[in-house]
């Protein structure tokens, strides 16, 4: 059973800018569009209703004016003719008038009432009962199975009432038509918009794919910067960061490569010397000379051992082991311990050692690394100080730093060589003093990891002064070590 998740699942959960933009842009666009469409629709609807109402009112007024006049003329005429105030034939007059009112079509109906109950005139489709009980104004009614918009207008002077109605369904049709006209483009545009978003985002992301390809093609051995031209502004920080990383890696690789080559060289040379002396010893007939050669072999083994030890130390200095939050360490105490441990070597050369320390001065860090650091510096001082010389170690607190000074009465290092001595395998005077040229590189590496500072100068004793500055850890915070 495989524990690795299916690749498909991983892809589904991975955030996608394209999908995100797609799902962000599309609904927002849709909502904005719909709200706009709805607004337009409702505005239009209102406008149509008002227009219709205005039309109804106008029609009613026109009818009233026209028909009341005609009706009274006709009644007067009938009065004269027949002296009988008979109601006009409701069928007859509308037909005659129907021709003139044809433009209103069947959607528009009207009634004309006299004295409240005489329907003297009506359009063909109009029922013979009142359209609305209302005397004046608009109302919505239902008759003959349809919804109507009705407008009543009464003329109290002539005791006439005109009612005009327009079928709502016609209005509805108009509204629906307009709504369709507004919404159709949206429906067509939406898939197009979706495609456009998908496509353009994909296109915008293409430089990222190019960058990915370029990064993928990078050879670990020779990292090359990604060309910054044609990179979109948004991706530039990424490219810049990658390029900076490549530069750093390139330097690190270069450094490692050089180190390996140097280490090979530095290991092979003592081996070659060992072999040579061993061969010299094996063929030397003279006993004394043979002993001398054998002594050289033994010394050579010691030196090679020291070299291997230093190489291992250098390799083991691990930045991750440096614990800025570690327990505080009294640098004064540590220095005196180291000094005591190395006093034997100093005594062999009758070197006068002295330590002055304003204890306690606390720093944080890895004890082993601090040990290596101080041992190397002291070892160097002892090595380069001549017989009957002097070495002074001084630990004090200056501001928020702990300053460790090691001065010796050796030959010192000329100013122009001071930068180089920290380089791996650099030895100023090869052969004159035993050493592998790694001690100060080890010191430098530890100092780097600690974020401390190291400075070389002339000492008052005439030799070299090594000044180390480490950030101090305040005692009251440091007392409660976890």
The footprint of another protein (CB under 8 A) covers: 261, 264-277, 279-280, 283-284, 289, 293, 296, 299-300, 303, 427, 429-431
Taking the complex as a whole, how short is the minimal distance between the CB of residue 348 and another protein, in angstroms?
A: 21
Please, what sign has the CA dihedral across residues 127, 128, 134, 138? positive
| Distance, CA of 130 to CA of 114 (rounded, Å) | 12
Looking at beta carbons only, is 105 or 302 nearer to another protein? Answer: 302
Q: How big is the CA angle at 292 (ends 291 and 295), to the nearest 5 degrees?
A: 85
| Distance, CA of 46 to CA of 175 (rounded, Å) | 10
Looking at beta carbons only, is 268 or 367 nearer to another protein? Answer: 268
Taking the complex as a whole, how short is the minimal distance between the CB of residue 209 and another protein, in angstroms?
A: 37
Taking the complex as a whole, how short is the minimal distance between the CB of residue 287 and another protein, in angstroms?
A: 14
Alpha-carbon torsion angle 7, 12, 18, 23, nearest 10: 170
Instruction: Tell me if 168 sits within 8 A of 109, measured CB to CB.
Output: no
Instruction: Tell me if 375 sits within 8 A of 367, measured CB to CB.
Output: no
Which of the 8 DSSP states describes residue 226? Answer: P
| Distance, CA of 163 to CA of 57 (rounded, Å) | 9
Taking the complex as a whole, how short is the minimal distance between the CB of residue 262 and another protein, in angstroms?
A: 9
Taking the complex as a whole, how short is the minimal distance between the CB of residue 337 and another protein, in angstroms?
A: 33
Read off the tokens for 97.
Answer: 């008038």
156-160: list long-range contacts, CB under 8 Å, 24+ apart.
158/68, 158/72, 158/114, 159/114, 159/115, 159/116, 160/64, 160/67, 160/68, 160/71, 160/112, 160/113, 160/114
Looking at beta carbons only, is 104 or 426 nearer to another protein? Answer: 426
Taking the complex as a whole, how short is the minimal distance between the CB of residue 455 and another protein, in angstroms?
A: 25
User: Is residue 111 helix, strand or coil?
Assistant: strand
Looking at beta carbons only, is 79 or 265 nearer to another protein? Answer: 265
Looking at beta carbons only, is 46 or 289 nearer to another protein? Answer: 289
Taking the complex as a whole, how short is the minimal distance between the CB of residue 226 and another protein, in angstroms?
A: 29
Instruction: Tell me if 400 sits within 8 A of 471, measured CB to CB.
Output: yes
Looking at beta carbons only, is 293 or 317 nearer to another protein? Answer: 293
Looking at beta carbons only, is 61 or 296 nearer to another protein? Answer: 296
Taking the complex as a whole, how short is the minimal distance between the CB of residue 317 and another protein, in angstroms?
A: 24
| Distance, CA of 122 to CA of 62 (rounded, Å) | 15
Taking the complex as a whole, how short is the minimal distance between the CB of residue 273 and another protein, in angstroms?
A: 4
Looking at beta carbons only, is 268 or 388 nearer to another protein? Answer: 268
Looking at beta carbons only, is 328 or 439 nearer to another protein? Answer: 439
Strands 390-398 and 352-357: parallel
Which of the 8 DSSP states describes residue 219? Answer: B
Instruction: Tell me if 391 sits within 8 A of 406, measured CB to CB.
Output: yes
Looking at beta carbons only, is 246 or 425 nearer to another protein? Answer: 425
Instruction: Tell me if 425 sits within 8 A of 314, measured CB to CB.
Output: no
Looking at beta carbons only, is 215 or 281 nearer to another protein? Answer: 281
- In degrees and rounded to multiples of 5, residue 425 shows phi and psi of 65, 10
Instruction: Give the containing element (helix H, strand E) for 170.
Output: helix 168-204
Taking the complex as a whole, how short is the minimal distance between the CB of residue 313 and another protein, in angstroms?
A: 21
Taking the complex as a whole, how short is the minimal distance between the CB of residue 260 and another protein, in angstroms?
A: 11
Please, what sign has the CA dihedral across residues 396, 401, 402, 404? negative
């Amino acid at each position: 059973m495989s524990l690795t998740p299916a690749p498909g699942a991983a892809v589904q959960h991975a955030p996608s800018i394209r999908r995100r933009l797609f799902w962000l842009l599309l609904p927002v666009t849709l909502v904005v569009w719909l709200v706009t469409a709805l607004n337009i629709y409702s505005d239009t609807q209102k406008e149509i209703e008002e227009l219709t109402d205005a039309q109804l009112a106008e029609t009613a007024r026109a009818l009233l004016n026209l028909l009341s006049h005609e009706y009274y003329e006709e009644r007067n005429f009938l009065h004269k003719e027949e002296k009988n105030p008979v109601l006009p034939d409701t069928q007859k007059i509308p037909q005659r008038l129907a021709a003139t009112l044809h433009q209103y079509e069947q959607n528009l109906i009207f009634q004309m009432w006299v004295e409240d109950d005489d329907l003297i005139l009506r359009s063909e489709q109009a029922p013979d009962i009142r359209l609305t009980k209302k005397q004046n104004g608009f109302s919505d009614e239902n008759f003959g199975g349809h919804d109507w918009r009705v407008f009543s207008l009464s003329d109290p002077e002539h005791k006439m009432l005109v009612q005009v109605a327009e079928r709502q369904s016609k209005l509805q049709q108009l509204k629906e038509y307009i709504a369709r006209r507004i919404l159709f483009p949206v429906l067509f545009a939406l898939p197009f918009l979706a495609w456009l978003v998908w496509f353009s985002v994909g296109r915008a992301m293409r430089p990222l794919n190019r960058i990915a390809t370029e990064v993928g093609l990078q050879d670990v051995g020779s990292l090359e910067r990604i060309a910054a031209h044609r990179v979109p502004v948004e991706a530039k920080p990424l490219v810049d960061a990658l390029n900076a990383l490549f530069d750093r890696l390139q330097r690190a690789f270069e450094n490692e490569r050089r180190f390996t080559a140097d280490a090979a060289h530095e290991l092979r040379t003592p081996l070659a010397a060992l072999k040579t002396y061993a061969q010299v010893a094996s063929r030397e007939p003279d006993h004394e000379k043979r002993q001398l050669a054998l002594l050289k072999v033994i010394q050579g083994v010691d030196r090679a051992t020291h070299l291997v030890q230093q190489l291992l130390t250098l390799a083991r200095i691990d930045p991750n082991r440096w614990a800025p939050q570690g327990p505080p360490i009294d640098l004064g105490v540590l220095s005196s311990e180291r000094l005591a441990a190395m006093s034997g070597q100093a005594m062999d050369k009758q070197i006068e050692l002295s330590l002055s320390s304003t204890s306690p001065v606390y720093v944080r860090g890895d004890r082993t690394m601090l040990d290596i650091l101080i041992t190397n510096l002291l070892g160097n001082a002892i090595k380069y100080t001549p017989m009957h010389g002097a070495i002074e170690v001084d630990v004090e607190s200056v501001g928020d730093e702990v300053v460790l000074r090691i001065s010796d009465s050796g030959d010192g290092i000329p100013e122009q060589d001071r930068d180089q001595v920290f380089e791996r395998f650099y030895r100023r005077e090869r052969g004159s003093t035993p050493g592998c040229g790694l001690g100060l590189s080890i010191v430098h590496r530890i100092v780097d990891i600690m974020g401390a500072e190291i400075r070389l100068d002339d000492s008052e004793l005439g030799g070299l002064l090594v000044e180390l500055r480490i950030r101090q850890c305040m005692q009251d915070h440091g007392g409660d070590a976890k």
